[in-house]
């Protein structure tokens, strides 16, 4: 509690600072900018959540007994003309529960901080950066170093990067470094090169973009893990080839990648080579647009270190996101697609399509209709079971169809209606099953915003999920009252209103498995539970704080197409950001 | 831990307010060509709003600005730059969405490696900046509550 109060007092201090310093600091000719983000949770005791622990003997329930977690980020940058430099301190005091960072830390759970830094020169046609590098080649299928704070992922490369651009026609980039693995620096080296040729610029074609691109990425294993000794080559090579074509509202982007050496994409399975194809198609005409993605993946998940499993999604040098729509409504997000990457050996084939259309009156700009439809389908590929004994045929893992229509009736009233049908093969989140077990759900949401005047407005959400799966039906609601521009208050509840103990996955003890194939979570007979939240946000210039209290359901929290498993907890959250 | 906290607090003390100029970073435009963010500075004041396809308040804010844009343009000269921070996964969805939401009057740019986001010190979206005609960042705020777009308009008017 002391720590929570300390965090709170920093929030108050930050508010005064935001008042005083709304802009930046000049340091000589250059300028300094600072950003602070802090996420704190004080966990409270909740008997209902503790009861879940009875069903789950492996569950770490210590966190429900009044513990504290805090993920904090302080970033300071200096900029002088083409030169810039910066540091970032990530402090985990200790890491919030449920983050893969926390899972990784359990080796020696403690408060920890990690420093990243860089110096950079950006010239007109070339640039050099030393220190921590964030970059990606193409879609990131063979290389992406990035930061995703919602999942506490940061795999920046500590090393160097240089690029040269010749009249936009030729772009060459090289980089090398040691990837960050949570709060340690890996000893393994990752290097890569990327070449992009713009055919349209070479031909002087101004009506569109045609480019050919290619990349190479190598990973050299310096660690002598048990798994490493099982493959011959310490060096892993990956290549990518890409073609981009865009003209008059039409887009076609294709990428093929291959993992040329055997690698343990999943420590539970045999080592394997891998490949992937992804094709993006887009078309737009006035206010109508379509975007579609098709992807086939096989064994492309590539870890930084082939260490013992159970350390989660931060152990990666590339980016294999889920392509399904990431929902913002509570019930649509209850059981997101996270299946084939977990249990079908990291392989899938599928695609998704989005269609947008907007109707606007040319006279009354304020009145419009926005339509959006989305469909996705993913199948697993033929693969061997985790124990290597059974051949499992590929089959449908996920289908969803979503439709939403947004209508601005007048300056005061806006409504959104949303419908989603989702069907998943439940086995894929639990086990290597020969037969599918499909669970489907229909989700309905009505979302209404009413503005009383320029400052006061109210937003109400009503949601219902009709499900045939073991969790039964759910109902949810949210009321949000806004005093623009500074305050907002909200209260919400999500209630599992129909008890259903499915003979297959409900009622009995059952284990969930992580992406690495090791059990991370156990299932139980579902209770009728209220998951309530009450909270407030405060915004003042560059300062924003959110204070909330509530019970959180166990489930997947997804951001940018990647997910982490969040165990159930009840607690007080205080999050704030300050930039200047 | 306390030491770190005090260090942070100490850092905050004694800052004098002055305008920051917009950083120069490479991003993609609607056609997929690489452009420099400094090229956006052309003497017209602008609202720069960071958004992504999965950020609902961001889309609400950009729609609210869009609703008011013609009324505002009657009083001030300005433009709106919508910066998508969507990565490779949702980039094509973001491109489709700018069309489908009717943001025809916006300058849409795509920051798929999030270099512009990092350079502007954006940690949470929505985060909206007001930049004057010379490229100085004169105001910014994060988060969106319905109606807060009015504050942006007031600040833009002060630039006149």
Contact list, A138 vs chain B (CB under 8 Å): 88
For an interface test with A, which of B59, B102, B127, B131 has the most A Cβ atoms less than 10 Å from its Cβ?
B102
Residue B78 resides in a domain: yes
Contact list, B90 vs chain A (CB under 8 Å): 326, 560-561
Task: Tell me if A323 and B89 make a contact (CB, 8 A cut-off).
Answer: yes
Using the Cα atoms of residue A176, residue A182, residue A185 and residue A189 in order, give the sign of their dihedral.
negative
**Global ipTM:** 0.77
Mean pLDDT of chain B: 82
A201, two tokens: 């610029």
Which CATH number belongs to the domain containing residue B132 in this structure? Answer: 3.40.30.10
Task: Tell me if B113 and A134 make a contact (CB, 8 A cut-off).
Answer: yes
Q: Which residue(s) pair with A493 in the sheet?
A: A477, A532
Kind plus residue range of the DSSP H or E element containing A192: strand A189-198
* Contact (CB, 8 A) for A467 and A439: yes
Look up the domain containing B129 and give its range: 21-158
Task: Tell me if B95 and A482 make a contact (CB, 8 A cut-off).
Answer: no
A356 touches chain B (CB under 8 A): yes
Q: What is the pLDDT of residue A521?
A: 47
Task: Tell me if A484 and B147 make a contact (CB, 8 A cut-off).
Answer: yes
Task: Tell me if B123 and A37 make a contact (CB, 8 A cut-off).
Answer: yes
The model's pLDDT over A371-396, given as tens digits with 9 standing for 90+, comes to 999 999 999 888 877 777 788 888 89
Q: What is the pLDDT of residue A22?
A: 42
Using the Cα atoms of residue A522, residue A523, residue A529 and residue A533 in order, give the sign of their dihedral.
positive
Provide the pLDDT confidence category of residue A506 given band limits of 50, 70 and 90: very low
Given the structure tokens 């009413």, which residue do they identify?
Answer: A450
Provide the pLDDT confidence category of residue A124 given band limits of 50, 70 and 90: confident
Task: Tell me if B100 and A289 make a contact (CB, 8 A cut-off).
Answer: yes
The model's pLDDT over A301-335, given as tens digits with 9 standing for 90+, comes to 888 887 655 467 788 899 988 888 888 898 998 88
Task: Tell me if B93 and A291 make a contact (CB, 8 A cut-off).
Answer: yes
The model's pLDDT over B10-64, given as tens digits with 9 standing for 90+, comes to 444 334 344 578 888 889 888 878 888 888 898 899 999 999 988 888 998 998 8
Residue B4 resides in a domain: no
Given the structure tokens 């470094």, which residue do they identify?
Answer: A177
For chains A and B, count residue pairs whose Cβ atoms are closer than 8 Å.
233
Q: Which residue(s) pair with A570 in the sheet?
A: A551
Q: Which residue(s) pair with A242 in the sheet?
A: A213, A255
Q: Which of A46-55, A198-207, B11-20 has the lowest mean pLDDT?
A: B11-20
Q: Is the pLDDT of residue A66 over 80?
A: no
Q: Is the pLDDT of residue A65 over 70?
A: no
CA distances from A378 to A231, A293, A559 (A): 31, 12, 19
What's the pTM?
0.85
Point out the residue among A74, A358, A580 whose CB comes nearest to the CB of B8.
A74
Point out the residue among B1, B92, B139 whose CB comes nearest to the CB of A111.
B1
Residue B66 resides in a domain: yes
Domain count across chain B: 1
Residue B3 resides in a domain: no
Contact list, B101 vs chain A (CB under 8 Å): 356, 358, 370
Contact list, A251 vs chain B (CB under 8 Å): 32, 92, 95
Q: What is the pLDDT of residue A16?
A: 59
B10, two tokens: 């100490």
Q: Is the pLDDT of residue A518 over 50?
A: no
Point out the residue among A147, A284, A456 whose CB comes nearest to the CB of B99.
A284
Query: Rounded to 10 degrees, what is the CA torsion of A510, A512, A513, A518?
Result: -50
| Rounded-to-integer distance, Cα A326 and Cα B53, Å | 9
- The chain B residue lying nearest A110, using CA atoms, is B1
Nearest Cα neighbor of A263 from A224, A228, A313, A226 is A228
For an interface test with A, which of B34, B39, B141 has the most A Cβ atoms less than 10 Å from its Cβ?
B141
Q: What is the pLDDT of residue A105?
A: 58
Residue B153 resides in a domain: yes
Task: Tell me if B23 and A293 make a contact (CB, 8 A cut-off).
Answer: no
Task: Tell me if B89 and A251 make a contact (CB, 8 A cut-off).
Answer: no
Q: What is the mean pLDDT of residues A438-458?
A: 92
- The chain A residue lying nearest B52, using CA atoms, is A560
Residue B2 resides in a domain: no
Residue B41 resides in a domain: yes
- The chain B residue lying nearest A138, using CA atoms, is B88
| Rounded-to-integer distance, Cα A44 and Cα A38, Å | 19
Beta strand B46-51 pairing with B79-84: parallel
Residue B76 resides in a domain: yes
SS3 A561: coil
The model's pLDDT over A562-574, given as tens digits with 9 standing for 90+, comes to 777 777 788 999 9
Which chain A residues in 53-112 lie under 8 Å from chain B, judged by CB atoms? 73-77, 79, 82, 84, 89, 91, 93, 111
| Rounded-to-integer distance, Cα A358 and Cα A297, Å | 34
Point out the residue among A35, A251, A541 whose CB comes nearest to the CB of B121.
A35
Q: What is the pLDDT of residue A180?
A: 93
* Contact (CB, 8 A) for A361 and A298: no
Cis preceding-peptide flag for A485 (omega within 30 of 0): yes
Q: What is the pLDDT of residue A7?
A: 65
The model's pLDDT over B97-134, given as tens digits with 9 standing for 90+, comes to 888 788 888 999 999 888 899 888 888 888 999 998 88
């Amino acid at each position: 509690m002391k720590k929570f109060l300390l965090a709170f007092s920093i929030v108050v201090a930050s508010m005064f600072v935001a008042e005083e310093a709304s802009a930046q600091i000049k340091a000589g000719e250059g300028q300094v900018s600072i950003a602070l983000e802090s996420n704190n949770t004080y966990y409270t005791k909740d008997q209902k959540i503790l009861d879940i622990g009875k069903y789950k003997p492996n569950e770490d329930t210590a966190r429900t007994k009044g513990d504290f977690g805090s993920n904090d980020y302080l970033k300071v940058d200096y900029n002088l003309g083409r030169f810039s430099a910066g540091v970032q301190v990530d402090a985990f005091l200790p890491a919030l529960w449920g983050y893969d960072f926390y899972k990784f830390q359990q080796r020696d759970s403690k408060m920890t901080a990690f420093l990243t830094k860089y110096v950079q020169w950006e010239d007109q046609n070339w640039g050099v950066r030393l220190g921590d590098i964030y970059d990606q080649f193409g879609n990131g299928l063979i290389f992406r170093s990035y930061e995703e704070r919602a999942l506490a992922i940061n795999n920046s490369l500590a090393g160097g990067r240089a690029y040269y651009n010749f009249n936009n026609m030729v772009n060459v980039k090289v980089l090398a470094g040691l990837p960050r693995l949570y709060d340690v620096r890996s000893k393994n080296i990752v290097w890569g090169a990327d070449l992009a040729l713009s055919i349209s610029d070479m031909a002087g074609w101004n009506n569109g973009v045609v480019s050919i691109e290619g990349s190479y990425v190598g990973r050299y294993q310096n660690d002598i893990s048990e798994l490493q000794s099982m493959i011959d080559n310490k060096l892993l090579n990956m290549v990518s080839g890409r073609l981009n074509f865009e003209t008059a509202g039409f887009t076609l982007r294709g990428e093929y990648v291959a993992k040329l050496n055997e690698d343990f994409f999943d420590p539970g399975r045999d080592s394997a080579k891998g490949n992937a194809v992804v094709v993006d198609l887009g078309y737009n005409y006035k206010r109508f647009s379509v975007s579609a993605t098709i992807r086939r993946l096989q064994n492309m998940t590539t870890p930084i270190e082939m260490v013992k499993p159970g350390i989660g999604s931060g152990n990666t040098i590339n980016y294999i996101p889920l392509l399904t729509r990431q929902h913002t409504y509570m019930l649509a997000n209850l059981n997101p697609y996270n299946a084939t990457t977990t249990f079908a050996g990291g392989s899938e084939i599928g695609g998704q399509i989005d269609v947008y259309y907007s109707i606007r009156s040319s006279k009354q700009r304020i009145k419009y209709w926005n339509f959006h439809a989305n469909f996705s389908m993913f199948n697993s590929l033929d693969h061997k079971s985790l124990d290597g004994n059974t051949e499992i045929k590929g089959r449908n893992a996920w289908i969803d169809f979503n439709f939403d229509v947004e209508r601005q009736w007048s300056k005061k009233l806006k409504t959104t209606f949303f419908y989603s049908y989702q069907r998943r093969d439940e086995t894929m989140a639990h086990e290597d099953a020969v037969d599918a077990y499909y669970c489907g759900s229909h989700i309905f949401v009505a979302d209404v915003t009413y503005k009383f005047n320029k400052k006061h407005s109210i937003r109400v959400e009503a949601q219902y999920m009709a499900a045939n799966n073991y969790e039964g039906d759910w109902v949810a609601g949210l009321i949000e009252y806004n005093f623009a521009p500074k305050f907002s208050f909200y209260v919400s509840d999500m209630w599992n209103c129909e008890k259903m103990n499915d003979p297959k996955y409900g009622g009995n003890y059952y284990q969930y498995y992580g992406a690495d194939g090791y059990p991370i979570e156990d299932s139980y007979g579902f209770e009728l539970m209220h998951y309530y939240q009450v909270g407030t946000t405060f915004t003042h210039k560059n300062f924003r704080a959110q204070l909330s209290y509530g019970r959180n359901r166990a489930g997947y929290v997804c951001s940018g197409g990647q997910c982490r498993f969040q165990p159930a907890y009840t607690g007080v959250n205080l999050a704030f950001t300050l930039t200047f | 831990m306390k030491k770190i906290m005090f260090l942070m607090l100490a850092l905050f003390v004694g800052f004098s307010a002055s305008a920051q100029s917009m950083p120069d970073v490479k991003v993609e435009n609607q056609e997929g060509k690489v452009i420099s963010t400094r090229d956006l500075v052309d003497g017209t004041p602008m609202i720069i709003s960071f958004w992504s396809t999965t950020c609902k308040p961001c889309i609400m804010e950009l729609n609210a600005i869009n609703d008011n844009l013609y009324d505002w343009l009657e009083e001030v000269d300005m433009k709106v730059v919508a910066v998508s921070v969507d990565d490779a996964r949702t980039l094509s969805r973001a491109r489709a969405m700018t069309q489908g939401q009717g943001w025809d009057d916006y300058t849409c740019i795509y920051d798929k490696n999030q270099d512009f986001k990092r350079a502007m010190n954006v940690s949470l979206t929505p985060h909206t900046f007001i930049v004057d005609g010379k490229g100085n960042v004169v105001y910014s705020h994060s988060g969106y509550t319905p109606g807060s777009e009015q504050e942006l308009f007031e600040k833009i008017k002060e630039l006149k």
